[in-house]
Amino acid sequence: MSVIEQPAATRHPLKARLGRLAELVATPLVPSDFSDLIDPLRSSTDLRGRIVEIRSETADAATIVIKPGRGWRAHTPGQYLRIGVDIDGVRRWRAYSLTSPLDRADGLITITVKAIPDGLVSNFLVRRARPGLVVQLDQPTGDFTLPATAPAKVLFITGGSGITPVMGMLRNAIDSLDDVVLLHSAPTPDDVIFDAELRELAATGALTLIVRHTDTEGMLEAADLEAIVPDLAERETWACGPVGMLDLLEQHWAITELKPLHTERFRPALAAIGEGGTVTFGTTDLTVDADGATPLLDVGEDAGVLMPSGCRMGICFGCVTPLVEGSVRDLRTGEITSAAEGDGVLVQTCISAAAGACTLAR
């Protein structure tokens, strides 16, 4: 959830007075709770968007066209946004790269999503979401971007959906890039997202496109790089793709004298699930080992952390604390709750135990 800041000083005095009147009338709610009834995209406190179109890209990838709500700040190509959708009644947040050009006349933005096996949000967006759906948004963020003055020679290395942030850059900056090589890997020709558009760019000479179909040609090896891109040493590189590919590239760059390598990693949201694990308490940054049977509330208190608490039996919700990341298990039902940074998942510490490493906000 993103808060839209509006400095009071810039507001017109009459508008500010009306705003205060609206607050008086709306209490204990806020005026936007009522204006949301009419148009959730006009909210001055919460950034939202509405899905306008869902365009199929490949069998398992789609571009989601979104009309962003009031307060959306233009992104820098290559950045991603966090999107929150309600799936089976539960809000889930994930990050996806922006793929839209900045100068769209209609002001719409796009993300391109590949449905991964068991991926709750990606499958929902690609297969179940429909135009008209209101989604929660966060302001764009990320430093996987091109510098203001682009280097003379650029290499993009992408794998699978790793093409998405690069597509965002190409659509916006291709005219200012003199010499671009794009080395893209995908299992088969049908899996290449933006295939037609990339080929068109290559046909006009805007970039050199090298597509590797890993089902038949095998995974990219670092040793092959010099052969595929002979002037590798002269190119600044941006890479995005599976963890294995990025690890391999980083290792290669570490032992070879080359121009900088920039990488973008989208780690899978699920943390390792197990019995017990290390628990980090955010307010103190204290990390302790916990077993799988002790409530996190007891773990924290035993470690001297000032924990909010209540009935200690799971009924009063007085101990609810944000789970920043990791997994916990409900000691009553065995149910696992997992969170990645920014998900805003709250857990009852009195009936939850560590199920793998986890971090609590308090």
x/- contact string, 37-56, with another protein (CB under 8 A)?
A: x--------x----------
Gap between the Cα atoms of 141 and 34, Å rounded: 29
Q: Does 184 bind another protein (CB under 8 A)?
A: no
Of 264, 314, 332, 210, the C-alpha closest to 78 is: 264
Of 310, 351, 317, the C-alpha closest to 331 is: 351
Gap between the Cα atoms of 171 and 175, Å rounded: 9
CB 350, CB 330: distance < 8 Å: no
Q: Residue with structure tokens 């933005």?
A: 109
Name residues contacting another protein, limited to 75-104 (CB under 8 A): 86, 88-92
Q: Does 313 bind another protein (CB under 8 A)?
A: yes
x/- contact string, 234-263, with another protein (CB under 8 A)?
A: ------------------------------
Stretches 195-203, 204-212, 299-307, 312-320: which one binds another protein (CB under 8 A)?
A: 312-320
A 10 A CB-CB count for 238 gives 24
- Toward another protein, which CB reaches closer, 32 or 278? 32
Stretches 66-74, 164-172, 239-247, 315-323: which one binds another protein (CB under 8 A)?
A: 315-323
The distance between the two most distant Cα atoms of the chain, rounded to a whole number of Å, is 70
x/- contact string, 323-342, with another protein (CB under 8 A)?
A: ---------xx---------
Of 295, 282, 291, the C-alpha closest to 325 is: 282
Quick one: which of 197, 247, 318, 361 contacts another protein (CB under 8 A)?
318
Gap between the Cα atoms of 273 and 90, Å rounded: 20
Quick one: which of 74, 272, 306, 316 contacts another protein (CB under 8 A)?
316
- Tell me phi and psi for residue 36, to 5 degrees: -60, -25
Q: Which residues bind another protein (CB under 8 A)?
A: 1, 21, 24-25, 27-29, 33-34, 37, 46, 86, 88-92, 310-311, 313-318, 320, 332-333, 343-346, 348
